[in-house]
Structure 1
Amino acid sequence: MEQDGSLFQELITQTCRLEEGIMYLNPNGKQRTPVTKWKCKAAIPSSDSKSSMEICPCYLLTVRVIRARNIHQADVLSQTDCYVSLWLPTASPDRFQTKAIQNCKDPVWNETFYFRIQSQVKNLLELALYDKDVVTQDDHLFTVYFDIAKLSLGEQVFMHFKCNSQRQEELEVGFALENISGPPETIITNGVLVSRKICCLEVRVVEKKKNKKEKKSVSKKEFSFKVQGSYEGTQDIMLGSDLVFSSSSPAKFHYARYKHPTLDVTLPGKKPAPSFGKGFDLYAKAEDCPDHLDVRLGFDLCVQEQDFLCKRKKYVTPALKKVLQLEQDLLDHETPVVAIMTTGGGMRSLTALYGSLRGLKKLNILDCATYLTGLSGTTWTMSNLYRDAEWSQKDLDKQISEARKHMTKCKANSFSLEYMKYYKKQLCQRRREGRKTSFIDLWGLVLESLLHDGKDNHRLSDQQRAIDRGQNPLPIYTAVNVKNNYSTLDFKEWVEFTPYEVGFQKYGAFVRTEDFGSEFFMGRLMKKVPESRICFLEGMWGSLFSLNVLYIWNSSHSSEDFWHKWTRDKINNIEEEPLLPVKLHELRTRLFTPPGPLGSALRSILTDRLCIAQDHNFLKGFQLHNDYLENKHFCRWKDTVLDTFPNQLTQSEELLPLVDTGFFINTSIMPLLKPERKVDVILHLNYSAGSQILPLDQTCKYCSEQGIPFPRVDLSEEDRKKLKEGYLFDGAETPGAPVLLFFPLINDTFQKYKAPGQKRSESEMEDGEVDLYGSCSPYSTYSLQYTEKAYDRLVQLGEYNILNNEDLIMQALHTAVAQKRRLKGQCTQKGTMLALTLRKQTDPA
């Protein structure tokens, strides 16, 4: 049949529903030879015991937007022209809306919308009321958040949402939840995140053969295909006059099978029909993707870390026996897990950590440690150390000398024209790889030149070589995930980096370190991007430039409460009629009132960050489980204002904005408080500027609010005014808390002693004058260069403060061993009593 322009125009707006199987479409949009097939699978446990594959039903949700009452006048000259927008992102990527009712404060719509929802997903429907404007942007009046979990299957309810009691504003909506035909859906979940069934659609276009007499067209035809909500989004296919689009290179789309997927086809521009010849055939084929995930869903330690722990014990157990001077070997259950935790502080923390580690090495404590964590400047030290696969088995003199060379060299060369060209070339290379670059990437390259000779090809995954036999502590680097338009106190999520994995403790989601920065969708690796050189991670871990106005205010005034009315969303619980029976896991119905132009502008000024690192989000596409707020793992880290707004959490973002952990709390302790790591002793090495006790106080407050076992830090006013070199908090009053050793960076007895028990001579007194925090101190957090004398003195101070507190460290280790033995004894006693009780119950005598 001859293809005419009207049929082409008809297909431009034609939408094709995607089902499993194969369908062939003519240009007029009529379907030919549909093939549909259903498969049902039994529940299969995944390889991770904390995640599982489940078969769960889908339901049909009917939403009828009925009417609104007493809507306040948004325009000066007329009543509102109201319409309602519906958004349920767990069911459809599209936003739907009613028609606009002109000039009416009591609009009536009576429009019905249908959604297919997954029963095990947290489905939060957003009903937004707008006033339509022709000239300016539509006014957003309010949004109602309604949890579909409130509804009962098979029932129909009509809800009256009281949006403003003073003005008696009300929105009336009807809901019905019913079973839906078809098989259930197979999902993979860890109780917090849900990965749903993914399909791959292949689309190809075949140009119909022309008659021999017909002249060949020299024009090219471009087809545009779009699957809203798919990983690919939109793709174009270009055909020449004689080209038949090859089946070997179709356009592909990966999408969630049950989220109302549609294929939108836009044909070549409006041209006369003869230029298109006899038309085209469109072939579409959809197939299920494998259920295997490339994102690990689970809260257990990864297999590689578990294997490392077994190997590390072969170093730790004999080392503990030696330093504690024990007569007998420690049993497995008696061996405490010891961790070294550091804080940030720019080059000051980089330098002082070298000294602390050398002190621990001289006390043979380094072989007793299982973990070493860092942030900001201490990550620069760690990444240098782990280039050497045997670093903790050596005296560290070589590493300290190498760092000294770079800390004292002139930094002007790092900003030379030659280096600028190198930076530009490297940033262009990252963009070609598919990364979004920022000033933080440039800062990482500057750090590379400051701390190394030439290009450094080291990558984080390369550090696996330094822990493959358990010969060094496992390094953990930390960052926080933030969100645009929110202060760090309102939204932050801990992210940990090891040579094995990068992931969120809060969501129980991890990817291989080699894959961090690659593109993922619903847990599947879609586009592999080469692993970043570690300098780019160092730039992000120590991103001194990712601050905002609120952070500066908070740093100087110790509170940002004054600004909360400007930077927090105005959200209130609202009344609704009728009162539905309270369901487990349901969220309260809430009302969001958008700020005015002044409030929005001020919020942007206060919360926007100067620059930020952004990597592809490996949580993209996941959805939250219906019970996620009750999951004990999620609750442990649930502390953001958006935790009860599942549509706005991290899985909905394209990119991860990651910043230095110091922009929340200057500590790298959080990975060590993960219960699965079972850390017994933490050596808290503090290198902060200003108050030495502040990061520890903030950690205590955070852990108390989150219900995380942590020792109570009980310091007298006298101690707070004049800190000692070391403190021991045994955590006896807090069950499950680790033993904490706290080492502030202070210059106390070092002024008079060059080594423990060795007083300085008159000629050596000058070497003890280390001005750490004075106005003329060379150790400012933003200082990039030290003199040789300043560098040596800071290293010596860090080492001395460790060596001078040997007894305190030994006391902590003895305490931990005693606690382990006592805990084992209690477990054995309980087991014996239980066995005796069972014997009495089963013994007739």
Structure 2
Amino acid sequence: YSTTGETPPAYLFYFQRTLETVYLDMRFGFNLCSEEMAFLEKRKRYVASALKNVFHLPHDLQDQEVPVVAIITTGGGLKSMTGLYGSLMGLKKLNLLDCVTYISGLSGTTWTMANLYRDAYWSQKDLDSHIGEAQKQATKCKMGCFSMDRMKYYNKQLCQRKEEGYRTSFIDLWGLMIEYLLNDGKDPHKLSEQQEALCDGQNPLPIYVSVCVRDSYSTNDFKEWVEFTPYEVGLLKYGAFVRTEHFGSEFFMGRLLKKLPESRICYLQGMWSSIFSVNLLQIWGLTPLAGQPERSISWQAVPSPVLSPPLDEEPALPTRPHELRTRLYTPPGPLSSALRGALTDRFSVAQHHNFLKGYQLHNSYMDNEHFCRWKDTVLDSRPNQLMQSPDQLGMIDAGFFINTSSAPLLRPQREVDVIIYLSYTTGSHTSKPFSVLQYKACKYYSEQKIPFPTISLTDEDKKNLKECYIFQDSDLPGCPIVIFLPLVNDTFQEYKAPGVKRCCSEMEGGQLDLTSSCSPYCMFSVRYTDENYSKLLNLSEYNILNNSQMIMQALQTAMQRRRQKMC
């Protein structure tokens, strides 16, 4: 028709428009989904109102003046679950909880979040009922977890899950055990149902964090951040997202081939806190060397099939695919394969159908600034190996890489101004909570060129951590203000509330063993006494209340920065 000059039939125009529009069952793009954008508009009303009341502002804040405040957490099993309840209770008493737009969690803090978001208006109510129920579950006897009736229940649920089309693993069994540890009975709750708690912007948006790993690679060498929200599940590096209710279903080239029933949240909790996904390399990395930060070992030290150039001398990652160097490949011998397998194999990994199956990286994808933001694996310079579309995505607890849930909140599209960093990491060394932030998180984001403030401690602080620190870098565009609140027992030993000293009979309430090998708060503890639970809850709440001025100072700075951008 273009050569003859004739007018094509109307149906051909319709056919052309249909071809130009590709309808997929997943979303590609680094921007936020439409549901999250709508939520943010609604949430601004709560945040603006809360800030006006807290700071006694004479006028309403404009939308551009409202800072985005996010809570990020570290893991730690029952300790982090209890600690987060206390921290949220403190923020609630300061009327600052309504100033928060996002809450992200991993490992044990996902237990707190999943419990709270069953209630569509939890942050608008008193938290005592939620905390009381959590205390009941934290202090109950756990031996029923291994009863014959419970074993029959596990078997029935796993068989049903397999019939639905899921590939079951020990992580699914662990999820069912978590269900028992945290509930009186079966928990039918699903992640997508948490959308009800966001419909009017009445609560912060929850983000649950995991990492995707591959066989025969250590977590340091291959990990890709995965975020879970009530709206979507996605891989940050690729900007690939599926609807939350479709996660685990079978996809091919972006189309939904087989819809599986949405997983109950206990199975996701098993994956988010999969303590059984450790391998020998990570166990080795937990052994600190004298006078040095914790050491991590890479599979680059293992005999490699690539002989030229050696992996430990590999140059910096190129910026364009055509810059890749020619490499001599020699198949690995049996000893090399066996050694690598022994060091990198994990006891169990959560397996879910790969929603990226059928895709290959486009030639220009390596030049995408958002892809490069998370380009940090040994396969990123070899796109043909990076996207070989394995049938299953292996996912583990993000704590096996960096024990923090911060990655999704550093996406530039979320424009986070203030991060309230709640650390529940404890250890035999006083500054261990700080080392996770300084030597792991800060170092990682610096290497990835992701805006994050420089973290440093004085010699005095390394010996005796304070309850709160503020880190900021006003010269770095897009850099958030970080309020760091480690789990330390400092002034709480002498004060039961800010400015209220303990009397002699109350001194015992301020004594918590957070660091020794016999501590009741060790990561693998699954049962607390009522006394230990209350002490930890009160300590977490106190540390928030006692540092309210520093938190408000950071919020004021964020509002000032917002106003300056408007000028």
Same fold (TM over 0.5): yes
Question: C-alpha distance in 1, partners of 2:177/2:450?
Answer: 38
1:650 & 1:796 partners in 2: Cα distance? 48
Deviation at 1:364? 0.8
Aligned CA distance change for structure 1 residues 410 and 543 (closer, same or farther; 3 Å): same
Go from structure 1 to structure 2 and tell me whether the alpha carbon gap of 1:322 and 1:583 turns closer, same or farther (over 3 Å shift).
Answer: closer
Are 1:688 and 2:425 counterparts? yes
* Cα shift at 1:683: 0.1
Alignment partners' CA distance in 1, 2:321 and 2:388: 20
SS in 2 for 1:627: helix
TM norm structure 1: 0.62
Matched, 1:817 2:548: no
Aligned partner of 2:8 in structure 1 is none
CA shift at 1:40, angstroms? 11
What is aligned with 1:364? 95
State the Cα deviation string for residues 734-766 of structure 1 (Å, max 9, x = none).
222001100000100000000000000000000
**Residue in 2 aligned with 1:251?**
none
Q: State the identity %.
A: 61
Cα RMSD of the aligned pairs, angstroms, is 2.0
User: Does the residue aligned with 2:101 lie in a helix, a strand or coil?
Assistant: strand
Larger Rg, first or second structure (1 or 2): 1
Q: Which residue of the other structure, out of 739, 762, 766, is the alignment partner of 2:481? A: 739
Structure with the largest fraction of helix:
2
Q: Is the 8 A contact 1:479 1:659 kept in 2?
A: yes
Q: Is the 8 A contact 1:464 1:499 kept in 2?
A: yes
Kindly provide the amino acid, as one letter, of the partner of residue 545 in structure 2. L
1:549 aligns with 2:280: yes
Task: Indicate yes or no: 2:223 matched with 1:481.
Answer: no
Report if the CA contact (8 A) 1:371-1:476 is conserved.
Answer: yes
Q: Distance in 2 between matches of 1:626 and 1:42?
A: 29
**Structure 2, unpaired ranges of 5+:** 1-11, 289-293, 311-317
Aligned residue number for residue 637 of structure 1: 374
Is 2:295 aligned against 1:559? yes
Aligned to 2:186: 455
Contact kept, 8 Å, 1:712 with 1:733, in 2: the verdict is: no
Out of 136, 158, 176, the residue aligned to residue 427 of structure 1 is 158
Q: CA deviation at 1:384?
A: 0.2
Give the Cα separation in 2 of the matches to 1:40 and 1:526: 29
* 8 A contact 1:545–1:611 mirrored in 2: yes
Amino acid at match of 2:112: T
Match of residue 501 from structure 1: 232
Residue 384 (structure 2) pairs with residue 653 (structure 1) = no
* Pair 1:624 & 2:344 matched: no
Offset at residue 570 of structure 1 (A) = 2.2
Task: Render the CA deviation track for 1:578-618: whole Å, top value 9, x for unaligned.
Answer: xxxx9964133322223322111110000000111100000
Q: 1:684 to 1:321 in 2, by over 3 A?
A: same
Which runs of structure 1 show a deviation greater than 6 angstroms over 4 or more consecutive aligned residues?
A: 39-44
1:733 CA displacement: 3.8
Q: d(CA) in 2 for partners of 1:318 and 1:367? A: 8
Return the TM-score normalized by structure 2. Answer: 0.92
Cα displacement string for residues 29-77 of structure 1 (whole angstroms, at most 9, x for unaligned residues)? xxxxxxxxxx999997x9xxxxxx97xxxxxxxxxxxxxxxxxxxxxxx
- The 5-angstrom pairing of residues 334-413 of structure 1 reads 334-413=65-144
Q: How many residues align?
A: 538
What is the alpha-carbon distance in structure 2 between the residues aligned to residue 732 and residue 567 of structure 1?
45
Unmatched segments (≥5 aa) in structure 1: 1-38, 47-52, 55-289, 575-581, 826-845
| Change in 2 beyond 3 A, CA 1:584/1:692 | closer
Q: Which residue of 1 aligns with 2:313?
A: none
Conserved 8 A contact 1:567-1:607: no
- Single out whichever of 661-670 and 328-337 deviates more from structure 2: 328-337
Return the letter of the residue paired with 1:643: D
In 2, Cα distance between equivalents of 1:308 and 1:551: 39
1:92-151 per-residue CA deviation (whole Å, 9 max, x = no partner) reads xxxxxxxxxxxxxxxxxxxxxxxxxxxxxxxxxxxxxxxxxxxxxxxxxxxxxxxxxxxx
2:223 is matched with which residue?
492
Q: How does 1:317-328 map to 2 (within 5 A)?
A: 317-328=48-59
Letter in 2 for 1:559: R
Rounded to whole Å, the distance in 2 between the matches of 1:349 and 1:411 is: 18
Q: How many Å apart are 1:568 and its aligned residue?
A: 5.0
Q: Is the 8 A contact 1:636 1:708 kept in 2?
A: yes
Q: Distance in 1 between matches of 2:183 and 2:84?
A: 18
Match of 1:842 in 2: none
After alignment, is 710-719 or 557-566 more displaced? 557-566
Q: For the residues of structure 2 that align with 1:563 and 1:476, how far apart are their CA atoms?
A: 31
C-alpha change, 1:571 and 1:338, in structure 2 (3 Å) is farther
**Higher RCO (Cα < 8 Å, 6 or more apart):** 2
Query: Which whole-Å CA distance do the structure 1 matches of 2:540 and 2:133 have between them?
Result: 17
Q: Which string of whole-angstrom CA distances, capped at 9 and with x for unpartnered residues, describes residues 1-35 of structure 1?
A: xxxxxxxxxxxxxxxxxxxxxxxxxxxxxxxxxxx
Report the residue type matching 1:751 in the other structure. Answer: Q
Q: Which moved more, 1:549-558 or 1:730-739?
A: 730-739
Contact 1:337 1:678 in 2 (8 A): yes
Q: Deviations over 1:621-650 (max 9, x none)?
A: 011111111111100000000012223225
Contact 2:284–2:297 (8 Å) recurs in 1: no
The separation in 2 between residues aligned to 1:43 and 1:810, in whole angstroms, is 57
Residue of structure 2 in register with 1:437 after alignment: 168
1:299 Cα deviation (Å)?
A: 0.8
Residue 322 of structure 1 and its aligned partner are, at CA, apart by: 1.2
Say whether 1:608 aligns with 2:345: yes
- In terms of fraction of residues, the more strand-rich structure is 1
1:767 aligns with 2:509: yes
Note if contact 1:573-1:589 (Cα within 8 Å) is conserved in structure 2.
no
Question: Do the aligned partners of 2:351 and 2:392 also contact (CA within 8 Å) in 1?
Answer: yes
CA distance in 2, matches of 1:375, 1:750: 27
